[in-house]
Structure 1
Amino acid sequence: MEPELRPGGFAPVMATGIVSQAVGAAGARRLSDGLLAVAVALYGLLLAGWARRLARHRRDVARELREPAKVFGFFTFVAGSDVLATRLAAGPGRPVAAVLLAVALPVWLALMWCAARVVRGLGVGGVLRHVDGSWFLCVVGLQSLVLAGGALEPHRALAAKVAGWVLGVALYVAVAAAVAGRVVSVGLRPRELTPPYWVTMGACAISLLAGARLVPQGLDPAPTGGAVADFLLAMWGWITLLVPVLLAAGIWRHGVHRVPLAYEPTWWTIVFPLGMYAMSSAVLGTTEGQHRLVSVGHAMAWGASGAWTLAALGALLPRLPGGAPGRGSGQKKRSRKGKARRQAPSAS
């Protein structure tokens, strides 16, 4: 998988990291460790690539941070860093996890400042025209900070972690309201219903996972059946409802309106929510004694690993010798042929 140096380029890292956790919770330790190795390698390659890009093309990056369609994609760096930190926190990689969290927190704050400037500049009408599923990535970034902090320091700074979790839930509601407003007032054409809308489910799932992780740390004062437990179960119900809705939306887009189904890097924003749904279900079931939810989570872990495999194949096959050309390579070939045809008269 060649890393993509674009605003949402760290999506494969966050997707691979959470699928690693999900299959590990389901008992597949070797597969989990293998996926972790892939996630770490991708993260390193992307860091090196972005270091070069920032050194050579700072103005381009600054411009992307001012674009509503791109600025939220940068939160995948925060989420990718924290998903890895959460995975590494319990083992010998704990010092690395601490560094990842220390880097991710100020980056999230800086990105939120950039995103807030963009949203403020758009106004209400502009927000309704530009908001899409990628905006939920700011929620994913914040809740990933809560998860990493909880994994590294489970018995410290509870108030800060709870405040972050509550803010993340509030952000989710705000973005969901904006997306609903767009659907009602502006509508969505089939080509606009892109894979990042799956983050609608993924952002709620990571909020659920963060809350479930905080319960044994003191989030819910009631021993059993408290208000927090009821709220988390309601969140799980909402996530579960979104799965068939999003699947139906994909059928409407590709089956009814014939939008071509071909690999694009945003496929990873489908893998991540599926992995997060699996992990949050298993953890919630364990925390609340709901064994059926644990079984659902373990079953979904294999579904998420299947989605990961499809996304990985989609990314790899066009780059292999003899592989089918991807969208980008096809465009390059067509542009070269077009250029040759335009130059032919003068050459003769």
Structure 2
Amino acid sequence: MSGSKVFICHNSKDKPVVKDIEKKLRQQGLETWMDEKHIQGFEDWKKYITQNIIKMDAIAVFLGSSGFGEWQKDEIRTIYDEISRRKEEELPQLRVGLVILKNCRPELRKIQEAYHNSPQGWLFDYQTVDLRKPDFSIRKLVVAITGEPWQGNDSNNFLNHNVDYTQLQTSLAKQKWKEADKETLTIMLKATGRRREGWLDYPSIENFPSPILNKIDQLWIEHSDGHFGFSAQKRIWESVSKNPKQFGELVGWGYEGWWLFGGWYKYSDVCFDILSAPEGHLPIVLRKKRVGVIVPEVRNMMRNWRNPRQISAQQWQNLGSTVENQLVEEVIDGIMNLFDSDSLLEFDSSRMETLFSHIVGVSQTT
């Protein structure tokens, strides 16, 4: 059940700690559903929750020191109804479990006694994961949710998925490089639980399962005769002493004069012709589409320039000092998304170096 969909049922008073756990579950490759991330203002939240519970593989019901919240109790009733429906229709059953948070003080036995005759008492008939136990680890919660044995290790923050490389292999064999590039990112997002975000952040790259990354690299190297692949990129990266500008120029990822802010061009500009593309040009996984915050200072600048690339480096630097708590990079992302409909290629040396650290060996020059 890798990639299991799990509904996060919690009391809003416990939201900070539950959000942290939910993030870790996503890093294990699970798809999580949490009210604040999926329900917008003025929506019929009861209807929306019901519609999504029926799509879930598992339900994690969190219990903290404040007990079950009123909205949470409504969710629990809906969960019970869904369990009954699946039994009646002989459908695959929901995996339901109670998760005791660390801030919950009473012993488990006393908690069970307190809720024995309540509408939530049935939850104690299912598996309970107690986060207060000294031997607790996130892997135990993942195993409880998925029902699968743990196949990873404590140094790897991801569940070792049975990854399906069929689509990637087929696209590469047919030299459909664009399809292969997109499938590569899809596999990596699934493996890190970041399909919703659509891009790989530093922790997801740092903790990425090396066997998966090396298998992807092996396929790219094999079907491109060493012209494409992560190990081809790593060799070039090391050959220029990890110089970002030189690396970008060699693999064909950068615009001249657009490097000060990590200036990478649009995904639509990527070359998918192996005869024309530089060595190491593909795959490209460090890309994302993100709308930054457009502050007044930026709007004023945009009145004078139709193309943000016409803004000088000094003007960007001056702007950066006036934008409180915002990275200049985020502001650029926001502006560029107003002009560009596709994702931008984004680069930073730390993520690139971390990605390459997973690659075993270096490809030879073709």
TM-score with structure 2 setting the length:
0.28
Identify the structure with the greater strand proportion.
Answer: 2
Higher relative contact order (CA 8 A, sep 6+): 1
Based on CA coordinates, which of the two structures has the bigger radius of gyration?
2
